[in-house]
Every structure is written in structure tokens, then in C-alpha cells.
Chains A and B, each alone.
Chain A
Amino acid sequence: MRVPRSMRGRPGRRVGTGLLPGRRAGTGLLARLPLPRRTGRGASAPDLLVDPADRFRFTDLLGEATADIGSRPGRLVTTIIGTVLGIAALIATIGFAQTAAAQIARQFDTVAATQLVVTPATARTGGGQTVATAALPWDAVARMERLAGVESAALLAEVSLPTATITAVPVNDPSQAPVAAPPVYAASAELLDALGGRLSTGRFFDAGHDERADRVAVLGARAATRLGVERVDQQPSIFVDGIAYTVVGVVDGLDARAELLDAVLLPTGTARADLGLGAPGDVQARIAIGAGPQLRDQAARALAPDAPDTLEVRAPDGRSQLRQDVQADVNGVFVVLSVVVLLAGGVGIANVTMLSVVERVGEIGLRRAVGATGRQIAGQFVAESMVIGLLGGLIGASLGVFAVVAIALARDWTPVVSPWVTVGGALLGALLGLVAGGLPARRAAQIEPVDALRGGT
């Protein structure tokens, strides 16, 4: 503590060298005063004497703001509870909306959003019947697959057999009650891929069966149960109007056109040869997500270049539009509610910070006496309330995420919360603290040091 006399200096002689860069702050510092002629620079003038690294910096501010934060846990809890609840409600609301949207969009994405159907336009005849006004070409699959965005395409046509019987045994038993025959569909070999189907056993027919008009059939799972076909390793047959078809496979799951599970599927060539199929009914295609709007035009032109209007194309809308619609429905009221809770939380922080300013008048006085400026005092209180808000935001965001996970688990959904939402929630808490601390901090900065010191610690 011994201060050498030589270092204590004579200010009258030293002022001229005060700004020389070689001189370190701290050695001759205690003998120097900021001169009045430098005051034109304003508040920063005294700081010219101090190395920037040694000034009161943001890290110092944060250090001072966080040093005593855990010293009164009870008060901390009551201070942040409003923020925690508000942020948690907000995150849970947004997270729940995201989860629900993802859940709905997932279903749309895998089925509707990737399925495109082309059917000939229909018109009503004078007799009240509906007839097709155009026919699809037989090479529709090849034409469709040339289009960008089409991942797989297949022909599908219902074969109308109003009087046909379909059985697994070639015996006509008059004593048996007549049962409705399962519908018969003619399909091209790509159908399984285009509809995203799965086989429970056997295989699907291929392009060779189609060209040769082989008498093979694939059954939908429910049709197979009705016909008593459970295995295909012994090459069972079914009889359609007395003609035997070898069952090569059973389909037990389809992403679209689930009605085919009740049907008997024949190759298109076979249906044309044996059952007189006149024209393909429609084209079923699996497309890339988001390709729907473009393919709606392109598919009609590819299949009927001379008269694209005669074809009806059902294609999904863009994916983002769908998500937005779903999300907008869910949020609304809850967001407003959470914001109200959040505002109450902000008022809570403001109140407790105001109380803390009053309680800590002595500390404010001390800090002012040892050289803190009003701005540094204000900064400290703002930083403290901001840290409290950030803490509340962090806890609230975690609680919100847990709530979303719990709801999703209860409903057997996949929880989806954007990481930016949770980060945003925590930051929103900090922002709330920042705003809430503003008024008390102003008050703290305006307390005169003399009055503050009289207040005691």
C-alpha cells in the first residue's frame, strides 16, 4: 500500500503528457484530473485516460447483474413465475399447432399431396346417364412418366361385370346364397408403385403378363379373405365368369384408393382380351411433393394434346399453402391468452425490480460514491431484470416443450417444435425483462448519491 512519492506526481506538470499512448493508466492516474478544456468531448473525456480494456464493460455489467441473483431464491421464483407461465403457454400453443400441422400435413403429404388422378371429363346425357366425353390413350403411362415430377404412373379401370360370378371353386352350388361379386379392376403393372401398395404375399403382375394377356390376378386383402385365398405358393385360382385366373399375389395395404383392397385386379391386356375392356378408366400417378400445380396443366396436354379440356386432372395444391391453413386455424385465441399472461409477467418483473431499487438505495449510493455513473447504475438494474427475464424465458420454453411432448405422447403423435420457437421464447423473456426493467432503472439512476448514502445499507 506504500505509495511512492514520485508516483503521486505534480499535476501541474503532468497534464501535458496525459494522453501519450506509451503511458499506462494507473501509474500516474491518481495524480491526474480531466482538464476542463477537454470537456468539449463530453462524457467520454475522462475515459480517454483509461485503457479501453479496463473500463466498465458489458461483461462487468453482466457480472454485477448476475452476482446476487440466487441470493434470494424465494423472491426470484415469485418474480419469474409470470414470465415462466406466459412463455410456457406461448411455446406450448405454437408447439401444439406445429405438431398438429405436421401431423395433418404428414397424412396429406404421403397420400393426397403426392397423388394425381386423370379422368376423362363426363357429361350427362339426355337420359340422365353419365358418359365419358373422351378416352385416355393406352400408352398414357409412358406419356405420363416422361413428365418431370411424375415418379410413377399406372392405368386403372373398373371393369363392369354386373352379372358375373367370381368364386375360388369351379362348382356352381345352387343351394348357396348368391353373394355380390367383388369388383374387378384392370390395372397396369406399375399400379403397386403408383399407389404405394404393399403385398402380403406373392407378387404383382408385370408388363409381360400385361402384353401376353396372361390369365393372372392379384387380390385385395379383403377380397382374398372373402374368396378364401390365403396363400399363393400352391397357385390357387379364381374363376371370373368361369374363366380361371391364377392368383399371383395379395395386396394388403394401399396409401390411396383403399377400395382396391376389396377388388380383384387383372392386367389391362388380360381385361381387354377376356372381358372386353374398351378404354382405360383413369391414370393414377404418384408425383413429387409440390409438383401438383404444374402437373395439373401438363398431364392434360400430354394425354390429350388436341383437346386437353376433355380430361379432368385432380392434383394436390402446394404443400406450404396447406400447412399455413392448418396452422392459422389452431393458434388464434391461445396466442392472445399467452401474451396476456406474458404481459402480467412483465408487470411482475417491473414491480419486483422497483422494490429492489428501493431496498438497495444504500448500494446505489455506495456505487455512485466509488465512481459509478448514473448510466452504469441504470444499466445494472436493466441487466438484472433482463437476466431474470431470460431465466424465466428459458424455464418457460423448457416447460412449454415438455407440455407439447406430453400432449403429443398422449395422442400418439410426433411432437414437432421448431428450435427457433424455443430460442425465440427464451429471447422474448429477456426482451420482456429489458422492457420491464426500464422504468425502475431510470428511477435508480435518478437517485442522488447523497440521498442514497443516507439510506444506509
Chain B
Amino acid sequence: MTAAPTAPAAATGPDPAPDAVPAIELRDLTRSFPGPPEVQALKGVNVSVADGEYVAITGPSGSGKSTMLNILGLLDRPTVGEYRLGGVLTGTLTEDQRAAVRARQLGFVFQAFHLMSRRTVLENVLLPMLYSGTPRAQREPRAREALQRVGLDHRVDFLPGTLSGGERQRVAVARAVATRPRVLLADEPTGNLDQATSGEIMALFEELHADGLTLVVITHDEGVARRASRRIRLADGRVSPAA
């Protein structure tokens, strides 16, 4: 915790390059939901995440965490402000281009796993590669590699329903990293897991981080947030100095 830099604007990853373009850059970002009464979920947020950084976004419920993740994941558009992903302004992209960016640059891990119950573990991991344009010959090797990476290579032909919660979340992580995204976005990844399996998932995240993946984890669990290299605290739609 003490090693984590606290200034949001200073992009100091493990390997900061002087001219590095931050992986994620939010500038004066506001998202309001039309009322009445109009609700401002995010108010003038400035956040920058460098390539290879491991960031936890924390805050009480209603603080704008989920809105933030939706915007970071290009699932929602900001009302005002700029969002640059890898230096490219996302506001001008069409819906189809945003879908293509999601497919190739972003990986998602959800609280509720979102696995397809009638597909095997391997098929679930293969799913995003349908849309990401991964060369066909590489798809299955990559999926198996990703499953091996999360320690589930002995479960490839199982259905998600037969797996434990921790195993399901590891399948979801494998699915998210199989397309080799630039940024992994995790929304309360341990929310449905007990203490022990949470620890497994967090250890997995740390390994991925050590491999150079950029991670943004949204959580209200302080224990989870503490393991990130930097914490961003949201309160009432604003970034507050980390505790």
C-alpha cells in the first residue's frame, strides 16, 4: 500500500517509459442520467492508468463505480468529457467500431461470471475470439493456453454448471485474456466468492499483472483493493484521495 502512488495523473506503472501513452485516460469526464431529477453519476473525473498498471477502483455503492466501468468498457458513453483508450479518442467512434475495440482491446470479468451454461468451458473461452478476428488456426490453442494459465486445463470439456464458483470465475478470466486484450476490466470479480477462492482469483490477477497486463478492478472489498498497485477511490461521483 505504501508503494502505491497516490497522484491520479502521474502514470507510474512498473515500467514507465518517458513518452508512454497511458492505456486509459479520462479527462473531465461526466456522466449524467436525465431525470427528473437528473443524476450525475460521475462528476468531472480525471483518471489516468498507465500500460501495465494494476488499479483498483473502490467506493461505496452509489459512488459511480459501475458507471465508471461501463464507460471504461465502452458499454456506455460519457455525457461530457474525453476518454482516450491507448491514446485514441473513443468519443468519435461508431457503435460498430466500439464493438471492434471491445473485442480486441478489452477483456471483461463480471461478478456473475456470465458463462453460457450450455457450452463447455472450452467453448465459453472460444466465444470472444469469434468476434475479435483472432486467426482461426490460433483460436483453440490460445483458448487451451488461457485455460492452462488459470489452472483449468483438466476441465476443458465440463459444463459451467458442474464447476465451483471459483472455477467459474477462473473460466471467465481465461475467456477475458484469451483474446490478449490491452486492458482487463473486472467488475466485483470476487463478489460471489468466498474468502479462499477470492484469494485464488486475486493471486491470478497478480500473476497476469506480473506478465504485463493492465488491470482495472472495481470492488468494494478493501482486502481485494489493497492487493492492487494503486487505488482510486470514488465518492459521490468524484475521485477522492485514497485512504
Residues of A within 8 A of B (CB): 1-3, 5, 8, 10-12, 24-26, 29-36, 39, 42-43, 45-47, 49-51, 53-56, 60, 64, 67-68, 71, 362-363, 365-376, 448-450, 453, 456-457
Contact residues in A for B15 (Cβ distance below 8 Å): 5
Interface check B116, CB cutoff 8 A: yes
Contacts of B131 in A (CB 8 A): 56, 367, 370-372, 376
Decide: A3 and B211 in contact? CB cutoff 8 A. Answer: yes
Between A and B, 20 residue pairs with Cβ closer than 8 Å are A1-B146, A1-B211, A3-B211, A11-B87, A11-B88, A25-B133, A31-B86, A33-B85, A33-B88, A39-B97, A46-B96, A50-B133, A60-B130, A362-B112, A369-B108, A369-B114, A372-B131, A448-B75, A450-B70, A456-B114
Neighbour of B114 across the interface among A54, A67, A362, A374, CB < 8 A: A362
Contact of A12 among B85, B87, B104 (CB under 8 A): B87
Q: Given A5-B212, A39-B94, are A10 and B21 also a contact pair (CB < 8 Å)?
A: yes
B54 is an interface residue with CB less than 8 A from chain A: no
Of the candidates B87, B108, B132, B135, the one whose C-beta lies within 8 Å of that of A24 is B135
The 3 closest A-B pairs by CB, nearest first: A371-B103, A50-B133, A46-B100
B133-A43 in contact (CB<8A): no
* Beta-carbon nearest neighbor of A53 in chain B: B136
Write out the residue numbers on chain B whose beta carbons fall within 8 Å of the beta carbon of A60. Answer: 130
When the two chains form the complex, which single residue of B97, B101, B105, B118 contacts A68, counting CB atoms closer than 8 Å?
B118
Q: Bound complex: CA of A53 vs CA of B136, how far in Å?
A: 8
CB–CB A34/B130 < 8 A: no
Nearest CB to that of A29 among chain B residues?
B104
On chain B, the number of residues with a Cβ less than 8 Å from chain A's Cβ atoms is: 63
Q: Which of B95-121 contact A (CB under 8 A)?
A: 95-97, 99-105, 108, 110, 112-119
- Nearest Cβ in chain B — how far from A106, in angstroms? 53
A64 pairs with B130, CB closer than 8 A: yes
In the complex the two chains form, is A457's CB within 8 Å of B112's CB? yes
Known contacts A1-B211, A371-B131, A457-B113; is-contact A46 B145 (Cβ 8 Å): no
Q: How far is the CA of A449 from the CA of B115 in the complex (A)?
A: 16
Among A1, A8, A449, A453, the one with the most B-chain Cβ atoms within 10 Å of its Cβ is A1
Task: Give Cα A10 to B19, complex, Å.
Answer: 10
Closest-by-CB residue of A relative to B139 is: A54
Residues of A within 8 A of B123 (CB): 67
Q: Is B89 in the interface zone, CB < 8 Å from A?
A: yes
Beyond the given A1-B149, A35-B88, could you list 18 further A-B residue pairs with CB under 8 A, ordered by the A residue number?
A: A2-B211, A3-B211, A10-B17, A26-B135, A30-B182, A34-B101, A45-B97, A46-B100, A46-B104, A53-B135, A362-B114, A368-B75, A370-B131, A449-B75, A450-B75, A453-B114, A457-B114, A457-B115
B175 — nearest CB in chain A belongs to which residue? Answer: A370
Q: Are B149 and A366 in contact (CB under 8 A)?
A: no
Q: Is the CB of B127 within 8 A of A367?
A: yes
**Nearest-CB residue, chain B, relative to A51:** B135
Chain A proximity of B104: nearest CB distance (Å): 6
Q: Return chain A residues, CB-CB under 8 Å to B70.
A: 450
| Nearest Cβ on chain B to A314's Cβ, whole angstroms | 71
A55 to B103 CA separation, bound complex (whole angstroms): 11
**List of A residues within 8 angstroms of B138 by Cβ:** 26
Q: Tell yes or no: B92 within 8 A of A by CB.
A: yes
- CB neighbours of A46 from chain B (8 A): 96-97, 100-101, 104
